[in-house]
Each structure stands twice: as C-alpha cells, then as structure tokens.
Amino acid sequence: MITPAPTPQEKALKRVLTISRLNGWSVAVVAALGTLVTLLLGDLTGTLVGLVAIASGVMEIRGHGKLQRKDVSGMTLLVRSQLLLLGVLLAYCAIRLGSFDGETAMANLTPDMEAILKEAGLGRGDILPLVSLAYYATYGAVAATCLIYQGGLALYYSRKREPVTQVLTGNPAT
C-alpha cells in the first residue's frame, strides 16, 4: 500500500513538534544549570531570571505535549513561551547595562594582572574604557541575539498556527 505524501500542513506540524521539543528541553536544562550557578554565587537577580527562563522552557514543553495530543492551544503556549523568555532576557540585559560599575570591575584585577599591566606601561585608568566597552558590547550582543532568536521563533510559531490548526482539526486548506 502506498502512503500519500505528507501535505505542507503536516510537514509544518512535524517541524513545529521537532523544534518545540528540542528548544523547550534545551531552554529548561540550560536555564536550570545557570540558575544553580547563580544561586551558588548569590546572584538573586540571575536566579530569578533563571527561574523564569525555566518556566518558559517548561511552557514550551507543555505546548509541545498539547500539540501531540491534538490540542491546538499548544500553539499559543509555544508563542507565549518565546515572548516570556525574550522579555525576561531583555529585562536582564537592560538591568545589567544600567548597572555597570567601573570601580567594582577594576577591583577584580588580581595582583598578577596589575603586574602585567604595569609591565605593559598601562594603568587601571587606561584599561577601564576597554573593560566598559567589552561589558556593554557583551550585553548588547546578548540582547540582540535574544531579540533575533526568541523573537524569530515566536514569529515562526505564530505563522505556523494556521497550518498546524488545519492538520489537528482535520480542516483542509481552503
């Protein structure tokens, strides 16, 4: 017996299920590990961000499960999980960007680092602009990456809502 080729809507559902399973578990596991580290370091803001990120991963996993049970409300969970993660990560980046303290950064220099700077003819004040630039560039890049990835994935899930709904409800494309 020859099985019919999958429709574009069936392919969309299969791809959404694959992406949501992989992404949901990845977010949950990485966020859990990061949360443990921030908790051990005593970073309460980082721990809170990690807990919300874990919740986002779990939400995506739940959305995946609903889709497997042919419940179209799973698509809403997939979109919301990405928007939740995007929101918390952008808020964290904004907090970090607004809290740079050059004196604290310079206080972290070890005696060995200071000796190397002295040999190079540089003082603490000479590297502060570089440290500041690296700090802002790092958090700016993280924010931009999150905006592209999480925002793009939320948009992807949103655009796949209709074909996935068609497959799950048995309504062919019109």
Two tokens at 27?
Answer: 């977010």
pLDDT means per 10 residues in the chain (174 residues)? 87 96 97 97 95 98 97 97 98 93 81 84 83 93 97 98 94 64
d(CA 93, CA 95): 5
pLDDT, tens digit (0-9, with 9 covering 90-100), for 94-118: 999 999 888 887 887 888 888 888 8
Cα–Cα distance list, 156 to 13, 86, 112, 159, 164 (Å): 12, 14, 49, 5, 12
Q: What is the DSSP string of 91-133?
A: HHHHHHHTT--HHHHHHT--HHHHHHHHHTT--HHHHHHHHHH
Grouping H, G, I as helix, E, B as strand and the rest as coil, residue 136 is helix
pTM to 2 decimal places = 0.87
The neighbour count for residue 139, using CB atoms within 10 Å, is 19
**What confidence score (pLDDT) does residue 44 get?**
94
| Domain ranges (residues) in the chain | 10-167
